[in-house]
Structure formats: C-alpha cells, structure tokens
C-alpha cells in the first residue's frame, strides 16, 4: 500500500524502515519552496550582521605603526624589568622591601626571561599585596604559593636547573619555603635575569541591557628591592644591568635599595576583543530562522492533519520523530557552517581593509568556532522540533525558544558579571560559547561545555517528545 501526500512527488509506503522514513522526511523538507529558502536566509542574515559589525567596529587602527594583529592568545607583557645576562643554571635572589599596595594584584619579584623582548618565554616568582607569593610563566599559568600569605617585605629566590624553574619565599632570607616549580621548554641557556614589577589595568565595566562599555587605562607598578644577587652555577663575567629598552641602569640593583617602576601588567589580556565571535554574532538571528523552520516542519503537519498520514505510513512514531530530527539537524548544520564561513571571511576582509589583521579561518579555534556554529544550529533545530512536538502550536513553540535562547543573552548584558556568568552557564544560550576563540573577563563556560549544556536540554526535550508522541493521539 502507498499513500500520496500533499508534498509534491512524495509517496510514503506502508513499510516503516528508518531509511525509507528518512527519505520521505527529507523530500518533505525540500519540496516546500519557502522552507528551501530558509538556509539561504540564515546565510544572508548572518553575513549581513557580520559586515555591519566589522564596518562599525571600534577596534584600533594601526596608523603608521603597521597592521594591528589580533591573536587567539592575547597577553600583556608590560611593567618594568631590569636584567643582566645569566648563562645556564643559576640562582636569582632579592628582597622586596616595599611595594605600592594600591592594587591587590600588583607584582614585584624576580624573573628569568629569554630576552627583554615582549612576549619572550619566562619564569618568575613575585609577591603581591593581596594574593601572597605566586609563580608565573607563559602569561596564563600561575601557582599560588600562599594566597593568604604576607606581602612585602619578603625575600624571594628563583633557581634554574635546565628547563625547571623553582621559586621560593622567606621572611628572613635564611629559611626558605618552596612556592612552586614550572617547566619552560623554549627558554634558551643565554637568558636575562633580574627584577620585575607590574600592575594590572584600571578597568571599569558598565553593563546595560543590550550592551556594555569597558573603560580603563594602564597603571604604574612600583617596588623597592635590596640584596639583589645573580649567582650563575658556572663562573661567568658579569654583564651590565639594562632596562627593557636596552639602556644601562645606574645605579644598578645590588645590596643597596633599588626602586623600580613600570607601566602595565604581565598575564592574559582578559579585555581583548574576540573578532571571530563578533563576526559570528549574526548566527543568533540565523538561529531564529532555523527555529521557525524546525517548528513549522512539525506543526504544519498537525495543523493540516497530515500527521495522521505520516504515522499511518510509519506506525513507529519514535522513528518518524527521529527521522525528522536527522533531517532538520542536517539542514541546520549545513546552513550554520555556510553562514559561519561567509561571515568570518567577509568580516576579515573588511577588517583587513582597515589595516587590522584578524585570525585566519584555518586556525584551530576559528575553525572550531565555524564548525561549532553548524553544530549549534543543528542542535537548536532539533530542540525546536522537540518543542514543537510537545506543544503542537507554532507560535507557542517559537516564543518558548526565543525566551530560552535570546532572553538570557539580553538579560545577562544588564546584570553584574557574577550573575551574568551564572545565567550563561545554566540556560540553553550556553551553546553559543562554542563560538568563542578568546578567553575574556566574563567568559562563563568553555566552548564544548557550553554546547554540552544545550545538548542536554535538547536530549531532555527529545525524550519528552518521544514519550508524548507515542502515548497521545496524533
């Protein structure tokens, strides 16, 4: 037996094999002209928002200093650094006698670095006014030696043994307590060893519904040292003490008090822009189009009574719903990937015209964000299908999904950061974290964990939809 459905050219036979059901549902989707246009609309909307965002971006121009390059691991390498050469293993010792305590995260201590060049690999042990003594390396890794420990005055010691760097702290310079050890693979034998100060930016974040503004500026780190000693394991001629710019320092650090000051911090740049995520911002609008498509894909059959024919041709209703989920998910994935590729390339072209170089599409995190946008829209489509199956009303399903996906992002922008982070973690909107490529001050959840939250909501909705579709009348 076969049944001719109102979808053009679609014949559904009595056998309910999953492949046959899948083929029938695929034909239904692609024989309704306005449904076929929806993926194209997703691409157009996402690309349009990307172009508008890139054109109106406030990212800094390079001026005459060459192109501005945005990286995927933005960092700060500022502060003051006075150093002398040390070849091979050795020990660096000093006492921080006083430190500007205006900012709890200000740093003063010892550093062994590949060179004075900004961004060069390093290991450091520092004391802070509010967080005790810490071990630093790689601009992102920190070891808390004693977070509640005392601030200056404090003795510090940093030793090098091949690739292993170990920090110590002491109250009297005699009895030492280990802070921690780090491994730095790419720090050469010929290194710069000396004293360092740094201070975090002064940043004020104003959040309001629909947006936020971040204002801030560089602050000055300042500390006084004495008993500064560089002790190489092998005898070597002492070099001159120099500053970051290569100038000779006089008077140089030594037994007598030496005051060092410098602007900027050392560590991750948590207020750096994320150009890729900005370019993909239009995917939220595209997701709404996919939501509408997925909802109508189910509710139109209920509204027209065609669901009776569908279930007659495929009595195993769970299989029918699964086939619909596969079809609409595939459509969402294809539309999402295409939209993301076009959006990222368009935004990158516009930014390049402004002498701003953003990460390439082939870089790992960017590629993950692009493919992740496809996964995001695929999961959103399945969630919409499940919601439509549960509610059976297009308007109600779309409203529920708008509240679940859009409202948390609008509300979060007007909440304090701590509350916004919590909201971003527990709502389906967490799935949009898959698009982030740069860790920022308000990052709530990791990319894959965020997508996992959305998948959990979708799995629960599909389980409920499966249960209902088997137990109630069509």
The count of domains in the chain is 2
For the segment 343-359, the average pLDDT, to the nearest whole number, is 91
Per-chain mean pLDDT for the chain: 88
Of the two residues 447 and 204, the one the predictor is more confident about is 447
What confidence tens digit (pLDDT) does each residue in 215-247 have?
667 899 999 999 999 999 998 988 899 999 889
For the segment 321-331, the average pLDDT, to the nearest whole number, is 94
pLDDT of residue 14: 43
Tokens 């195993």 belong to which residue?
316
pLDDT of residue 266: 93
Q: Work out the pLDDT band at 209, boundaries 50, 70, 90.
A: low
Query: Cα–Cα distance between 418 and 413 in angstroms, integer?
Result: 11
> In this model, does residue 338 exceed pLDDT 90?
yes
Residue 313 inside a domain? The answer is: yes
- Domain harbouring 121, CATH code: 2.60.120
Claim to verify: residue 161 and residue 292 sit in the same structural domain: no
pLDDT of residue 64: 45
What would the two tokens of residue 455 be?
Answer: 């998948």
> In this model, does residue 318 exceed pLDDT 90?
no
Claim to verify: residue 218 and residue 286 sit in the same structural domain: no
Percent of the chain residues topping a pLDDT of 70: 89
Claim to verify: residue 297 and residue 263 sit in the same structural domain: no
pLDDT of residue 23: 87
Claim to verify: residue 123 and residue 190 sit in the same structural domain: yes
> In this model, does residue 155 exceed pLDDT 90?
yes
Claim to verify: residue 297 and residue 443 sit in the same structural domain: yes
Claim to verify: residue 150 and residue 241 sit in the same structural domain: yes
Residue 68 inside a domain? The answer is: no
Domain-ending residue, one of 242, 268, 294: 268
Claim to verify: residue 168 and residue 255 sit in the same structural domain: yes
pLDDT of residue 309: 72
Query: Cα–Cα distance between 285 and 307 in angstroms, integer?
Result: 29
Claim to verify: residue 101 and residue 237 sit in the same structural domain: yes
Residue 66 inside a domain? The answer is: no
Residue 327 inside a domain? The answer is: yes
Claim to verify: residue 16 and residue 104 sit in the same structural domain: no
Query: Cα–Cα distance between 291 and 187 in angstroms, integer?
Result: 52
pLDDT of residue 293: 95
Claim to verify: residue 143 and residue 162 sit in the same structural domain: yes
DSSP character string of 74-109: -EEE-SEEEEEEEESSEEEEEEEEEE--SSTT-EEE
> In this model, does residue 452 exceed pLDDT 80?
yes
Q: What is the pTM of this model?
A: 0.81
Q: Work out the pLDDT band at 190, boundaries 50, 70, 90.
A: very high
Claim to verify: residue 21 and residue 101 sit in the same structural domain: no
> In this model, does residue 1 exceed pLDDT 60?
no
CA 116 to chain centre: 29
Residue 324 inside a domain? The answer is: yes
Residue 65 inside a domain? The answer is: no
Maximum separation of any 2 CA atoms in the chain, in Å: 99
The phi and psi torsions of 440 (rounded to 5 degrees) equal -120, 175
Structural domain including 369 reads 2-60+274-471
Least reliable range by pLDDT among 59-73, 250-264, 289-303: 59-73
Domain-ending residue, one of 231, 251, 268: 268
Of the two residues 401 and 71, the one the predictor is more confident about is 401
What confidence tens digit (pLDDT) does each residue in 79-112 have?
999 999 999 999 999 999 999 988 999 999 999 9
> In this model, does residue 142 exceed pLDDT 70?
yes
CA angle, residues 114, 115, 116, in degrees to nearest 5: 140
For the segment 62-78, the average pLDDT, to the nearest whole number, is 74
Claim to verify: residue 48 and residue 166 sit in the same structural domain: no
Residue 345 inside a domain? The answer is: yes
């Amino acid at each position: 037996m076969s049944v001719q459905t109102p979808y053009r050219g679609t014949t559904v036979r009595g056998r309910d094999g999953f492949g046959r059901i899948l083929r029938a549902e695929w034909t239904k989707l692609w024989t309704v002209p306005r449904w076929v246009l929806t993926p194209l609309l997703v691409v157009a909307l996402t690309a349009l928002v990307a172009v508008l965002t890139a054109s109106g971006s406030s990212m800094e121009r390079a001026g005459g200093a060459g192109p501005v390059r945005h990286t995927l691991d933005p960092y700060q390498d500022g502060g003051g650094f006075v150093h002398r050469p040390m070849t091979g293993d050795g020990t660096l010792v000093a006492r921080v006698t006083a430190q500007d305590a205006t900012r709890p995260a200000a740093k003063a201590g010892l550093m062994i670095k590949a060179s004075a060049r900004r961004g060069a690999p390093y290991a450091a042990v520092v004391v802070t006014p509010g967080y005790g003594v810490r071990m630093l390396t790689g601009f992102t890794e920190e070891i808390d030696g004693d977070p509640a420990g005392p601030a200056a005055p404090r003795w510090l010691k940093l030793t090098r043994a091949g690739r292993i760097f170990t920090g110590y702290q002491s109250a009297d310079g005699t009895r030492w307590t280990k802070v921690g050890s780090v491994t730095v693979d790419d720090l050469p034998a010929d290194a710069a060893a000396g004293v360092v100060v740094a201070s975090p930016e002064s940043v004020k974040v104003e959040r309001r519904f629909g947006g936020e503004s971040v204002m801030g500026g560089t602050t000055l780190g300042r500390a006084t040292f004495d008993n500064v000693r560089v002790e190489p394991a092998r005898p070597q001629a002492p070099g001159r003490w120099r500053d970051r710019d290569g100038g000779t320092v006089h008077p140089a650090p030594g037994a007598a008090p030496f005051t060092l000051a410098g602007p900027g911090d050392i560590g991750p740049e948590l207020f750096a822009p994320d150009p890729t995520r900005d370019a993909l911002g239009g995917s939220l609008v595209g997701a709404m189009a996919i939501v509408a498509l997925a909802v109508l894909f189910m509710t139109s059959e209920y509204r027209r009574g065609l669901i009776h024919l569908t279930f007659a041709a495929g009595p195993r209703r769970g299989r029918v719903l699964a086939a619909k989920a596969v079809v609409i998910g595939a459509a969402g994935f294809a539309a999402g990937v295409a939209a993301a590729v076009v959006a990222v390339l368009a935004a990158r072209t516009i930014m390049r015209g402004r002498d701003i170089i953003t990460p390439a599409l082939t870089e790992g995190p960017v590629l993950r964000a692009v493919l992740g946008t496809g996964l995001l829209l695929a999961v959103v489509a399945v969630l919409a299908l499940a919601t439509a199956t549960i509610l059976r009303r297009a308007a109600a399903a779309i409203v529920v999904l708008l509240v679940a996906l859009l409202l948390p992002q609008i509300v979060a922008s007007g909440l304090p950061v701590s509350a916004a982070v919590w909201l971003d973690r527990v709502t389906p909107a967490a799935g949009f974290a898959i698009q982030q490529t740069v860790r920022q001050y308000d990052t709530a959840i990791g990319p894959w964990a965020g997508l996992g939250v959305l998948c959990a909501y979708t799995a629960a909705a599909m389980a409920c939809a499966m249960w209902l579709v088997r137990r109630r009348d069509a």
